[in-house]
Structure 1
Amino acid sequence: MQALRATDPRRIGPYEVRGRLGSGGMGEVYLAESRAGLRLAVKVVRSEYAQDRTFRARFRQEVRAAQTVGGTGTYTARVVDADPEGEHPWMATEFVEGPNLRDAVLDGGALPEAAVRVLAAALGEALGAIHAKGMVHRDLKPSNILLAPDGPRVIDFGIVRALEATAMTRTGAIVGSVGYVSPEQIRNGGQVGPPSDVFSLGAVLAYAASGREPFGEGQDSVVLLRVLTRDFDLMGVPDGLLPLVESCLRDEPGERPTPEAVVEAVGHTAGSLRESVRAGWFRSASAESVAARGDERWLPQGESGDRESRVEYVAPVTVADTPVPEASAAAVVPDSAPSPSRRGLLKALTGGAVVAAGGGVGGWLWLRDSGDNGRATGGGASAQASTPASRKPGAKVRWRYAAAKPSAWQGPLGTVSPDGQVLYVPMADGTLRAIGADGEELWKRDFGNIATLTVSNPVVTSDGLYTVVSDVEAGAPVSSLLALSAGGKERWSRVIPSGGYVTDTVLVGDLVAVGYAVADLEGAGEIRAYDAAGKSRWNTGLQGSPHAELLVADDIVYAPSFDNHLHALAGADGAELWKAKVNGDVDRPAATGDVVTVGTGDEAGTLFGIGTDGRQLWKQEGLGSAFVTAGGSDDVAFLGIEREGQALLAVDRNGKRLWDYVPGDVSFSQPVPAGDLIYLLTSTQVHVLTRAGKLSWKAEVGVLQSGTAAPVLHGNRLYTASSEGVMALDVTV
């Protein structure tokens, strides 16, 4: 719980405010207390909604309906009081002591099967009570389920229905959380019935039973596509629960079980359910958790708001024959449209996500409200601080993977699969490891002699990966490009001609391109591209060997070479488009917009800006040679390490030096920009900077054995090298 701010109310209606539980897209949430000592979670509606007449009318209607739902045996958080007519409308629900389901799983792992059966029965009872009053929850998800000592409580029913009526969302928009929305929510907007909640229930049970997101992680558009195509993962769900979960996740609403059938399917009655819930009912006997102790009162902690979630608002538009403009909304398909192909759905869903505080139809409206990925800070309403002032930035260790040290030094630690479920890491012992999002080793590929063998950082596709294995045991390098399945099995391999080194491997369209350098690095080299079957599609020779990482931007392969040139090759056929000469060895290029920058190895530390037509636009001296990363915007276009290796530098697209950051008298990794933040790793810490070059926060990772491999970021998960091997951090920004 957080302390009250100067602007926070001290009383809401007849209730005395004790503290802040958080804030969200709909409003502020407070812990309040009645004169009789009853603790309540009070949600106060934001002024922009309060001024919307349609919202007020719907809010009034939904509050009245919600007040009729709660009671003994309904497993819902009772709505105690409300004032929908006030200047700032509010609603008070009973405060529920206990974590939400998402936090319980993140902290303690998947629930035991018996606990999942209790959960299923209780949620079935709750949905039955909600549906009996003519309501549909519309946003059932792990963070909207609180685990009290006497059983689960469903919260926030009715809220999303009111939000659908706002001016921002009413025209065809729907409410739901990615990974838990039903297919009809995506297709039909807000026009859904009780079976939609049963689909969400199936996804919730899969998560509780396995500890895994049933539709995976990754870009929202990709997750939505999986929902529409029934591409779910039920690995880890006990066999005894699989039939129930699968039936809840059926595409046709009419084929899903009713809430009453769910209760029956798990073998419970109202009486047996009451007997099954007691303090710690959702924990295994060996779990050591405060939540399992009935003698302690649970209160949300202000310092623990490190898991944020989202309530997403999707506005459907027709996909068929509709071009997707740049930065368009994530489009979805209404029932009236012809059933599109998977390719059509993917095209529509990946059209781009618009982040807006008050956008209109056709966009994702990111209204922060404690939910899926986050910590609901308790109470009868979702409560999550969503602003920097109310959430503490930082990182929490999710897991550690003990292994040989990663082989990367300043390059990326590894590569994450497109769906975010697997991290592939080359190790210094000559192995390639596949590590699941939960930290479990999925497979390990051992390529041979540990002392003389190196494995490159792989490039990954949706169905496999490519890596290069090099062995210098015979004195001359022998390198091979290997294509592996997602499970680590070899599909094919190609030996590098003439015994050369592989400098880098990149994906360009449907091809994998490899840079070959001759053994002495002074002769001619080449870039060769292979298709998915291992057939050589093109081969382009270079006068000087490529000697640094390749860059692919807009289907062009940029290759730095030892003859002091940057080469631009067409990705489709390898034709050389142009080459630009610079005064020194060319380091790894980076691109932002229509500017490609390369640093050189000359004494002046020159940085060159080159247009995408090969013309030199500018050069700046004294910036250092190791500018290796695109900043991704005009304000911070490029990031790199100054010549002495002591500072991180930032420049704009015209080469103007903006700022530098010195993390201490230590070496550090390549920077990793992501959104408004920049991540880098020193030998002991992760540093997170703002785009203005100011330290936001840092976290200890232990003393690294050697090197400073760049961390890898996927969503809010940060993977870093550590003194033990690999560490996963959940970050809050």
Structure 2
Amino acid sequence: MSLRGGDPAEIGGYPLEARLGSGGMGTVFLARTSSGRSIAIKLIHQQFAGDDEFRIRFRQEVAAARRVSGAFTAAVVDAAPEADQPWMATTYIEGPTLAQRITDEGPLGGAELRRLAVGLAEALRDIHRVGVVHRDLKPSNVVLSAEGPRVIDFGISRAVDQQTLTMTGRVIGTPPFMSPEQLQAPRGVGPRSDVFSLGTLLVYAATGHGPFDADSPYITAYQVVHEAPSLGAVPDALRAVVEPCLDKDPERRPSVDELLVLLRDLPSDLGGTATGEPGAGRTRDMLTQHHLMTPDTPPPTTPALASSATSAAPPAPAASGPPATGTAIGGRLRRRWQPVLAAVVAVAAIGGGIAVLTTGGADGDGDGTDGRGTGAGRSAAAPGGTLPDGFEPWRTTVPGGREDIPDELRCVARDDALFCGGGGVIATRVNPADGSRVWTAKSPGIPVQGMHMVGATDGTVIGYRIADQDAPQGPTQEVVALDADSGEELWSTPSGAQSTAVTGRTQDAVVAGSAVVTVDASNSRFEARDAHSGKVAWTAPFPDGTQCAPVPAGPRLLAMCATDAEVDALEQRSPTLRALALDSGELGRPVTVDGPAVPVGDADGSLVLLSPHYEGTARTGYDGVVRVDPASGKVTRSRFDQVYDGTPGMVDGTVYVSGQTGRVTAFDPASGRKKWARQTGVEGASGPAAGDGAVYFSSATGRVVALSPDDGKKLWSTDPQADGLTGEQNASPRVAVAGRALFVAADDNTLFAFDARKPPRSG
């Protein structure tokens, strides 16, 4: 369509020729470069130009897209995300998406199918050569241009040497076209994950349905991990190439270069397919626009996963010490279900590793929280408005582990120490005053993905360790205790892995005073251990027919349980809560919650949970708050005014949901009433942390914002402190608080500290 009155004559020096379309957030124009090359320019509407949300989105798109631009993608020509009216220009690509083509005309065949296969493999070769893994290769991200297929939408791609662009607590990708490792260990996916996705895409193109399609995305995910692909309708010549791409083991899949050799040897006519209706069995695609790298809508929500539970531990002997009470350890959870349970539940991960009860103990109040949030980032160190003795702002780098595992650095402030760890991070104690390293934990002698340091009590640091997939036989997940003074390992015990399927968060252990309550490796009982010695004090079997996880609620400990059928179906529908006696493990009477619910904290003696909202089987956010009074068994539910998507958290008696684009919304947990909403400019913010009269959010770039908990007013914000794209989003706070001192974990294992009353100047 022609230009209209009021349209600019040019943007960024590029003369405009026509309007391609206009949406709620911007207008797309056809323009030409001085050499005559057609480009599409998206110009954000003026009324949104001052909104940080769109600048963040552009910043993400431009950084990823420029790195991967090539002959087989919609290359970024130019962009100005910081302009008064932001814009981005890409190569203009005419043609339908593969999803549109299959819907309108049915599966591809013959030479057309061969051209698609070779073209997509060439595109992946170019993407991988610049160190990027696409991670979301699917029909709506492939445009069928006259010159061949083009791969678009790098909104959730990951540079191999950078953190991810999307939320840790969620599966990154679209289940029918994802690889097994994306579902089991998404932080470590490599280029051969894209090869698997290419295999599924070619099956879809040839037959109109994916090789693992099912009625539910959860069953689809299970079949991706465990079942053989359905390839009966794939032409024989193509099947011989596709089948090795769909091997469950990435190392047995061909590389893109090897794949290209196989594809180029295919006959020109691959034959037809045996499908019925056009597009039969196709999973609905949500993104179909292709003029620019990323559409106005955010990537589709997919089932969630926990950041630290990637596989389940086999049964193994417990740490020393006879149980006071006990039962035979059952094996109700089928072995092959265990790795995927932590990956494809339809709720967001609400925390990592271990939670801490506010029961007091030798160090005061457990983890330093005030009983109104679950591990929400407060600290007993430097109480009140003080700073650690001798404190000066500092910056350091925490030692990393394996280079192929993203770091997910997090720290816990405790008394006069700062304990840091995470996936791919070696557990380290840091002096909070100057950032100097006190100790680094010794390797246990087996490859490990990292140790999440998330609790401390009575001179003991508690962590959650996940063995690497290449490790020899042994427990894949362990709860570990380290001596706080020396870093020496005191004890470890294999841990279960089903808690994410039950609660929506990885929480197979809870620190309660000087004790640690864990889920045993068989996922059949609770065990209470002395935090320092590891001696078992008591065991408590799960109620018959259930799988359970410990959930702290202020000074109380609750057992949250789902039925075996719910866990097997990967759908927690009506969980039950029971009081769990800290001195004996005795379980109280059950309280049933009607509908799925995710615990986030506690307020006024009641457990606070959020209610996920679904459209079909896809979780699209949260639509309300649920409160359970453990004493009376009363359950109350309040609805939000709308559905809110993002990472939930709770601190100081307020529930927060922080969106990927920086918008934070605060809720009253008693009524579900929205207290305020604020665009923070912090992209991919993690969970909240509170202290010194403010609530803090930060991203992997090290950008920090302080908000007033009363009205959301921005008190201050900082510039990014680390290199890279925008960071991944995670429920556990990036900010650890010690009085006025803030300790911020950022990308590339960067850790920095400053006085909350004297933040680094922005700009």
What TM-score does the superposition give when structure 2 sets the normalisation length? 0.39
Query: Relative contact order: is structure 1 or structure 2 higher (C-alpha 8 Å, sep ≥ 6)?
Result: 2
| Bigger radius of gyration | 1
